[in-house]
Structure 1
Amino acid sequence: MQSLEPGVGVQATEFVEVGGRRVRYAATGTGPPVILLHGLGRSLEDWEPLQATLSGYQLIAIDLAGFGQSQALSDCGLASLAKHVEAALEVLGVPLGAHVVGNSLGGAVAMRLAASAPARVASLALLDSAGFGREVTWTLRILDLPLLWRLLLRPHADSALLSERSIFHNPAFATPERVALALALSRREGAARAFRRQAHALGSWRGVRRGWRKELLTEVSALDIPTLVVWGTHDRILPATHLVNAAAALPRARTHLFSRTGHMPQIERVDELAVLLGSFWDGP
């Protein structure tokens, strides 16, 4: 395993205007394009370890609308997020047929992008992705309850530490630099409201909503796009049992389960993931 060196969040990033909204991105390397989409309430910094490890590709990490330093959309539905990503790729001049990698919410956005604009997507790599089951951590369920979400999402150093620790199996990955970044992101104007709006669009106190999951998986299963689904055995956000659901919903997909790994294999298992992705993209 490779841990992130001190200085998380210091890689060079740039901004482009997409549909009148500012979008932040970080592009590294050269070669076939790979698009990296982060999870709910996260930012493109989650991809720094992979961008530093995986060579032979142009890796483009994007802050999804409303998160990181990208401006929010008036509609936070998956279709709008995916369309906004597609428009960003056009502005950036990314050719058709890019590999798309999504973690958590980013996985659902990646699937919606593939279903809506299949020519844009050469392959899908879904890391602990939303969309494969109802079960989700109680901290996201409670965001559906009035007033309580304001307390839960109030910026605080202790909350940032607990949040970072919850996404990793090994607590050592919740470094002071990552906690500081999480706290800074939570303090951005409109961050709590954007987080709550997105969580509410995807689920309720009962869990992840079935309607959008069923519709999306039906569309993706009909696509002829190579797909890899990866999970961590100790994911406390979206349980590893969802990998079984993914295999059933997408029977042609490859699957891989990382042991002793939490919600972000792109950080906890970056070396192994880089090898796995390279094999997936370069294989027959």
Structure 2
Amino acid sequence: MASEPFAAFVDVGGYRVRYRTTGTGRPVVLLHGTGRSLEDWEPLRAALPARRLIALDLAGFGRSQPLPDLRLGALAEHVAKTLDRLGATAPAHVVGNSLGGAVAMRLAVHDPARVASLALADSAGFGREVTWLLRALDLPVLWRLLLRPDGYGARTAERSLFHDPAFATPDRIALARELARRPDAARTMRQVARALGSLSGVRADRRGNLLAAVEALDIPTLVVWGDRDRILPAAHLTHAATALPRARTHLFARTGHLPQIERAAEFAALLDEFWAD
């Protein structure tokens, strides 16, 4: 399928998936976090102009339709089917942020021949600690109040993702509010959060099983983190180094949960070096 500079849609098993693809060569698949969209990858896209980048709105997020099952396995399988529909069948470098990191790892376990390498940015799956907002989604009634699509909530949520508040631009806040207003957006957010954890944090059994399976694959892996991440604390990078001892690690200074935005040029340089090796 020919590359195109703007987002488009493809039908995957009867569900509409939004994607954006540019460039040529080995595919680089970009998977965003919970409640986010492919727009989170635009700064990194600009920093990697020579790469074939395929950014997806995960099922139920951005402008992609939700699946009946939004657990990690189902999300990963849907990503694989989407890549098939886009003709991206060669082994790909897969880059995941937050939830997208956990989906990337599950994709590697589900279909290791599809994954040439993993790059995980502030990824879910490495530690129990997580922001109180995601834990509170496990509570009846309260989750509806927390996920109301109003301006205050969108501003607060967006600013929590960055160390430098200047990155929480009016455009990003407006997009966050728009996506939060989509039908079933709140229910999807809660469903995914509860599949990963509970009020006490990310479930240890699911974490351990996934990480053990990824380590057994011996896929080249890079794990990066922002030292000021308020969603998944930087201590998770230590957990990652323990669980995946062969992985490369990097800690970005003065950076929050989205290093692909706050440190796009530095992250791109790390990725180029990692892929070259």
TM-score bracket relative to the smaller structure: over 0.9
- State the shift of 1:158 in Å: 0.7
Q: Which residue of 1 aligns with 2:209?
A: 215
Runs of 4+ in 1 over 2 A off after TM superposition: none
Q: Which residue of 2 aligns with 1:38?
A: 32
SS at match of 1:60: strand
Out of 187, 191, 196, the position equivalent to 1:202 is 196
Q: Which residue of 2 aligns with 1:64?
A: 58
Contact kept? 1:72, 1:194, Cα under 8 Å = yes
Partners of 2:197 and 2:22 lie apart in 1 by 34
Partners of 1:205 and 1:118 lie apart in 2 by 32
RMSD: 0.7
Gaps spanning 5+ residues in structure 2: where?
Answer: none
Partners of 1:16 and 1:25 lie apart in 2 by 8
Answering whether residue 135 of structure 2 is matched by residue 141 of structure 1, we say yes
Partners of 1:126 and 1:270 lie apart in 2 by 14
One-letter identity of the residue aligned with 1:118: P
- State the shift of 1:55 in Å: 2.4
Q: Which moved more, 1:49-58 or 1:271-280?
A: 49-58
SS at match of 2:217: coil
Deviation string 1:2-31 (CA, Å, 9 cap, x unpaired) is xxxxxxxxx710100101100000001222
Partners of 2:149 and 2:71 lie apart in 1 by 25
SS at match of 1:150: helix
Q: Which residue of 1 aligns with 2:163?
A: 169
Q: Which residue of 2 aligns with 1:105?
A: 99
Partners of 1:95 and 1:52 lie apart in 2 by 24
* TM-score normalised over the length of structure 1: 0.95
Out of 244, 247, 253, the position equivalent to 1:253 is 247
Answering whether residue 162 of structure 2 is matched by residue 151 of structure 1, we say no
SS at match of 1:34: strand
Query: Mapping of 1:44-59 within 5 angstroms?
Result: 44-59=38-53
User: How many residues were matched structurally?
Assistant: 273
Contact kept? 1:32, 1:56, Cα under 8 Å = no
Partners of 1:187 and 1:28 lie apart in 2 by 29
Q: Which residue of 2 aligns with 1:78?
A: 72
Out of 246, 250, 264, the position equivalent to 1:270 is 264
- State the shift of 1:209 in Å: 1.0
Gaps spanning 5+ residues in structure 1: where?
Answer: 1-10
- State the shift of 1:227 in Å: 0.1
